[in-house]
Structure 1
Amino acid sequence: MYKLDTPSLLLDYQKLLTNINEISSFAKEQAIAYRPHIKTHKSIKIAQLQMEAGAVGITTAKIGEAEVMAAGGIKDILIAYPISSPDKIKRLVKLLDQGVHIKIAVDHIEALSYLQRELEHTPFTLEVWIKVNSGLNRCGVEPGKEAVILAKEIMTHSKLKLGGIFTHAGHSYAAKTMDEIERIGHYEGRSVVESAKECEKEGIRIPVRSVGSTPTYKRAGKVAGVTEIRPGNAVFFDAIQAGLDVTSIDRCALTLLASVVGVYKDRVIFDTGSKTLCLDKGAHGNQTVTGFGHVIGHPEIVIERLSEEHGVAVLSQETTLKLNDKVQIIPNHACTVVNQFDEYVVHENGRVIDVWKVHARGMVK
């Protein structure tokens, strides 16, 4: 493995399987569905492994990701993103025409008219899920009354079918303690379940009540009435998740193989800059890590700053590293790092066993 050129994106096969199976086992224990978000890995191969482990379908962030996954044979896809552009709706129609069971997020009454207009001259009815805001304050209607208003409006559109209510508690990444993550997760589940109950009081059936977020899925997924979980990052984990105490650093399946390109009395330079490690140090204002990646086996090193092609690491004590040595670095944020690479080098027990394509890399439209 250390004979590979650098930087290389490495994926530990056994850790990957362990992480997938942990999520699947939790879903089975709770008797709920598992619909992983693929924006972390962007790989048809990994999505197929998740489906084999019991996933009912997948979640994507963008239509481009959904198109790639559909071409790879995955036919049950939630696009967890609001869509109202006529050009994008035409792409949804093409997916429906291919037999893909597509659902999309809605959180605005005006968007419903755009969807209805583009679908009216097709044979298709589009399934939509109401997104509620459980505290992230990004997209989503407020739980309860606003969800009911939107649900009633959906029922007046002949080309739309209400299939579920969902949320994403991404603000859990700003939590300072596990107790706070627990509280966020509990509210995440309640916001969906209670919104669904209010809709059903009005005679509007809500088959799916879905929650997400790697830090919170084990809490939100235990709320009575939740029917589905959608964690993404948990397939790999990363240094930010370890910093949140969601996992331990040795559970992280994804690393970067880097070379030492410079050794000086007070610093070491790696060939992994911002174009590979990216600049994340946390999320939503919470810095959960020190430096720009965890260098495995070298506690004396902190990657203090990044330029585009250089990782500049400072030393707390003397290091044994020398020119051309190679190290593995656990990235702070796996999702952004994966999007910088064309392929994973898959390894097991230190031996390369395969190369997998990052199929949906750059699919941001």
Structure 2
Amino acid sequence: METKAATSFEQLDTPSLLLDLDIMETNLREIAAFANQQGIGWRPHIKTHKCVEIARKQIEYGACGITVAKLSEAEVMAKAGITDILIAYPLSSPLKLRKLASLLPLAKITLAVDDPKQAERIHQCLEHTASAIDVWIKVDTGLHRCGVEPGKETVALAKEISKYPKLRLQGLFTHAGHSYAASSVQEIERIGIYEGQAIAESAEWCEKEGIPIRHRSVGSTPTFRISGKQPGITEVRPGNAVFFDAIQVGLGVATFEQCALRLLSSVVSLRPQERVVLDTGSKSLSLDQGAHGNATVKGFGHVVDHPELTLQRLSEEHGIAAVARHTNLALADRVQIIPNHACTVVNLFDSYVLHRKGTVVGEWRIDARGKVQ
């Protein structure tokens, strides 16, 4: 909730993680409007924000449920009252499956499956209980990480899953993360079209074999507005779109003005014609310059309103920015930095400082910070 007494950025210590509520809410409205226009669902991935309050706000704006990366994230969200959760990560270890069983009374959990042996293990875990569980098949549409191939491989796994009475096959889903390596908007378009078509066609193949597929889910942030328009798709799952970041700007997916997340940083040392040192190093900005081959960003974050600065190096507590010609910044001045990758930066902080038009209005805990199991 927005509870902190109104104050200004000058009263904050640095580095602080700033969240512009107005920009974030605009982003949420735009995602919801897209889903409504297409007549499809919206299941945001919370690995970006890891925050119960933001998950609740997404549901308030019309999300049908949430997506998580890890079982521990699902635990946090289920215990906070989020009742519809897709764990988009294959679970097969006995320890994790035992933990999963304890969540089933709290929320409707859906599991990702991409291997017949994994399906067998999930069934064995539930075999002597009264519980059954929904599963979705993870389909590989080009990222080549987890997932079965579209078409025949998907149908074969669907038939295997259908043998187990404790598993209810309800959907197919994919993540076109390779869109982050795209070199043009046209390439993102091509990837998104194929992403949607591959899921829709694989669902049709399954249904021809008598296996109904209710959910056909797609959507990385770069592609969800493309794949979500393909006939037969029922749901999109953008995560980063809640905030956006410098990578999305580099891909042409967003503008800096749409980026809701920034780091407030102070100048701790400088040579005005050579370099500026900021108190945001790898322990606050992360060393992430883009996943899956992305090459659209320069440096380790975008320093707002200071085009003369390029964050060239990070050590643990220092961000070293090269100066093009000259800077007017002085010791202890404040700057804001849009991170390259919002998701990895969020996991480094305990809380967001909430503001509207530069006035601090509250603080939200990052509840699932460090939940990587």
Compute the TM-score of the two structures, normalised by the length of structure 1.
Answer: 0.99
Task: State the distance in 1 between where 2:226 and 2:358 align.
Answer: 35
Q: Distance in 2 between matches of 1:150 and 1:203?
A: 14
- Given residue 360 of structure 1, which amino acid in structure 2 is its aligned partner? A
1:122 equivalenced with 2:136 (yes/no):
no
> Which of 206, 212, 217 pairs up with 2:213?
206
Alignment match of 1:337 (pick from 341, 345, 353): 345
Measure the CA separation in 1 of the matches of 2:181 and 2:32.
26
Structure 2 counterpart of 1:146:
153
Residue in structure 1 matching 2:301, options 293, 307, 314: 293
Which of residues 67, 70, 86 in structure 2 aligns to 1:78? 86
Find the counterpart in structure 1 of residue 11 from structure 2.
3
Moved over 4 A (4+): none
Aligned to 2:66: 58
Map of 2:312 onto structure 1: 304
Q: Gaps (5+ residues) in structure 1?
A: none
Partner SS for 1:150 = helix
Cα offset for 1:33?
0.1
Partners of 1:281 and 1:317 lie apart in 2 by 25
Alpha-carbon distance in 1 for matches of 2:166, 2:92: 14
**What is the distance in 1 between the residues matched to 2:111 and 2:243?**
25
Question: Aligned residue for 1:223?
Answer: 230
- In structure 2, the residue matched to 1:242 is 249
**Residue 136 of structure 1 aligns to which amino acid in structure 2?**
L
Structure 2 distance, partners of 1:156, 1:284, is 36
Q: Distance in 2 between matches of 1:282 and 1:335?
A: 11
Please state how far the C-alpha of 1:116 moved relative to its aligned partner: 1.1
Among candidates 352, 358, 362, match of residue 360 of structure 2 = 352
Structure 2 residue aligned with 1:270: 278
Encode CA deviations 1:308-361: one digit per residue, 9 max, x unaligned: 100000100211101100110000000000000000000001100010000000
CA distance in 1 between counterparts of 2:327 and 2:119 reads 60
Q: How many corresponding residue pairs?
A: 364
Match of 1:183 in 2: 190
Aligned equivalents of 1:348 and 1:19: distance in 2? Answer: 15
Q: Please give the alpha-carbon distance, in whole angstroms, between the structure 2 residues aligned to 1:280 and 1:340.
A: 12
Return the alpha-carbon distance in structure 2 between the equivalents of residues 47 and 263 of structure 1: 40
How much has 1:282 moved relative to structure 2? 2.0
Amino acid at match of 2:301: G
Letter in 1 for 2:44: P
SS in 1 for 2:276: strand
Partner of 1:326: 334
Give the structure 2 partner of residue 193 of structure 1.
200
CA drift at 1:284? 1.4
Of the structure 1 ranges 340-349 and 275-284, higher mean CA displacement relative to structure 2 is found in: 275-284
* Residue of structure 2 in register with 1:261 after alignment: 268
Give the counterpart letter for 1:232 in structure 2.
G
> Which position in structure 1 is the counterpart of 2:289?
281
Secondary structure at the counterpart of residue 48 of structure 2 = coil
1:3, distance to aligned residue in structure 2 (A): 2.0
The answer to whether structure 1 residue 91 and structure 2 residue 99 are counterparts is yes
CA RMSD of aligned residues (A): 0.7
Give the Cα–Cα distance (whole angstroms) in 2 for the partners of residues 14 and 27 of structure 1: 20
Flag structure 2 segments of 5+ consecutive residues without an equivalent.
Answer: 1-8
State the distance in 2 between where 1:176 and 1:308 align: 31
- The residue aligned with 1:110 is 117
The aligned amino acid for 1:31 is: G
The one-letter amino acid of 1:3's match is Q
- Aligned match of 1:134 in 122, 141, 146? 141
SS, match of residue 197 in structure 1: helix
In 2, Cα distance between equivalents of 1:128 and 1:344: 34
Following superposition, the deviation at residue 145 of structure 1 comes to 0.3
In the alignment, the residues of structure 2 paired with residue 308 and residue 229 of structure 1 have an alpha-carbon distance, to the nearest angstrom, of 36
Give distance in 1, aligned partners of 2:100 and 2:201.
30
1:225-251 per-position Cα deviation (integer Å, ceiling 9, x unaligned): 000000000000000000000011111
Paired with 2:17 and 2:10, the residues of 1 have a C-alpha distance of 12
